[in-house]
Amino acid sequence: MPRIAPQPGIMDIALYVGGQSRVEGVDDVVKLSSNENPFGPSPAAIEAIAASAAQAHRYPSTDHAELRAAIGAVHGLDPERIICGVGSDEIIHFLNQAYAGPGDEVLHTEHGFSMYKISAKAAGATPVEVPERERVTDVEALIAGVTERTRLVFIANPNNPTGTFIGEQDLRRLAEGLPEDVILVLDGAYAEFAEGYDGGAALVDEFPNVVMTRTFSKLYGLGGLRIGWAYAAREVIDVLNRIRGPFNLSNTQLAAAEAAVRDRAYIANCLRQNATQRARLAQGLADLGIPSDRSDANFILARFTDAAEAEACDLFLQSRGLIVRRVGSYNLPQCLRITVGDEAAVTRVLDAVADFRAERGGAA
């Protein structure tokens, strides 16, 4: 009978498990478990981080005006309708805290990002899982899943951990099919990797209940610094700003993100390399008899025969210093999620999987 007890729902939260980063007894390790940019941050961002050190005694800007202006200029968006957070995770928390509570439902897709569930429960709301169609977001199922209790619908597009993507027409059908008082959150953590995709920004302009979230953690290689942002109707931004801590982002975070978003040449090169190596990784695995869905992100979801084979391959890769992500907690125990590394890393993965298959009498 504890005297101090947390709010209902909190003890139901399963702790988030991050990608592994070490293997006992192996020195030359490549981490391909957290969808990080293998090339790291832009040199301009690194310089900005270093330069910010001398200003550590100063409180940071509370309105993030310079970073929002930079993001707005690069993406052609109104800076007044942008909010910045400690990773997009913080924005996901703001949305749940502001719009969902006990008795409310928060929809997410079958193999959706686990933060949606965690954050909904933290707000006291009830996460509701909606089936996908062969690992692809199912618009009709989401619309059918809405009840009078639904407050928020979260989808990641491209999705993590599946890598699959739904196009403009599907997104529009989803936005049109949801009640006006339900917020649709388009999590664009991997939006840049889907060629020609605006992350849903045009839909945000059209629908006051659509919110786009973005991050500096993946393509921009700044996951360690924690910077994300969202684009939404003024009314929504105003609500979220009321619960945002005034100094939620440090000088260093702000400076790094601004330099990173302005360095378009660096980003263009990272995107090119990702596209090339992603195709190589997917094709190489397919040649070994390991299929994956078309990925529009910076990772591949490799599908093995069964959970036992996926686990055995994971252990084999670890013994070679290659850390990938098991996705049993996403209900995909027969799969491994492999971040697209640089050319050498992809070669190492393909060689190791080929050896794994050969040792087992090769199905390839």
Ligand X SMILES: *Cc1c(COP(=O)(O)O)cnc(C)c1O
Select the residue whose beta carbon is closest to ligand X and give its number.
87
Whole-number minimum distance, CB 126 to ligand X, in Å? Answer: 20
Does position 314 interact with ligand X (CB under 6 A)? The reply is no
Does position 94 interact with ligand X (CB under 6 A)? The reply is no
Closest CA to 294 of 276, 282, 305, 277: 282
Does position 228 interact with ligand X (CB under 6 A)? The reply is yes
CA 71 to chain centre: 18
> Which parts of the chain are beta strand (E)?
30-31, 82-85, 105-109, 126-130, 150-156, 183-187, 210-215, 228-231, 299-303, 322-323, 325-326, 335-339
Q: How far apart are CA 91 and CA 230, in angstroms?
A: 7
Taking CB under 6 A as the criterion, the residue among 156, 240, 256, 257 binding ligand X is 156
**Size of the residue set binding ligand X (CB under 6 A):** 13
- Give the sheet arrangement for strand 228-231, strand by strand: 82-85, 228-231, 210-215, 183-187, 150-156, 105-109, 126-130
Which residue lies nearer to ligand X by CB, 101 or 223? 223
Which residue lies nearer to ligand X by CB, 131 or 224? 224
For residue 161, say if its preceding peptide bond is cis, omega within 30 degrees of 0.
Answer: yes
* Range in contact with ligand X (rule: CB under 6 A) among 3-11, 24-32, 215-223, 339-347: 215-223
Whole-number minimum distance, CB 222 to ligand X, in Å? Answer: 9
Taking CB under 6 A as the criterion, the residue among 96, 157, 160, 162 binding ligand X is 160
CA 81 to chain centre: 21
Classify 271 as helix, strand or coil.
helix
* Range in contact with ligand X (rule: CB under 6 A) among 4-12, 71-79, 87-95, 248-256: 87-95
x/- mask, ligand X, residues 95-134, rule CB under 6 A, reads ------------------x---------------------
Taking a C-beta distance cutoff of 8 angstroms, is the pair 101, 95 a contact? no
Which residue lies nearer to ligand X by CB, 215 or 348? 215
Taking CB under 6 A as the criterion, the residue among 119, 215, 253, 295 binding ligand X is 215
Count, residues in the chain = 364
Please report where in the chains the tokens 């200029």 appear, as a residue: 73
Whole-number minimum distance, CB 90 to ligand X, in Å? Answer: 7
Please report where in the chains the tokens 């360095």 appear, as a residue: 263
Q: Taking the CB of residue 76, how many other CB atoms lie within 10 A of it?
A: 8
Does position 223 interact with ligand X (CB under 6 A)? The reply is yes
Whole-number minimum distance, CB 357 to ligand X, in Å? Answer: 29
How much of the chain is in helix, strand and coil states, percent to nearest 5? 45, 15, 40
Which residue lies nearer to ligand X by CB, 160 or 295? 160
Which residue lies nearer to ligand X by CB, 121 or 218? 218
Taking a C-beta distance cutoff of 8 angstroms, is the pair 63, 278 a contact? no
Which residue lies nearer to ligand X by CB, 33 or 52? 33
x/- mask, ligand X, residues 185-204, rule CB under 6 A, reads --x-x---------------
Q: Taking the CB of residue 275, how many other CB atoms lie within 10 A of it?
A: 15
Does position 88 interact with ligand X (CB under 6 A)? The reply is yes
Does position 258 interact with ligand X (CB under 6 A)? The reply is no
Applying CB under 6 A, the residues found at the interface with ligand X are 87-89, 113, 156, 160, 187, 189, 215, 217-218, 223, 228
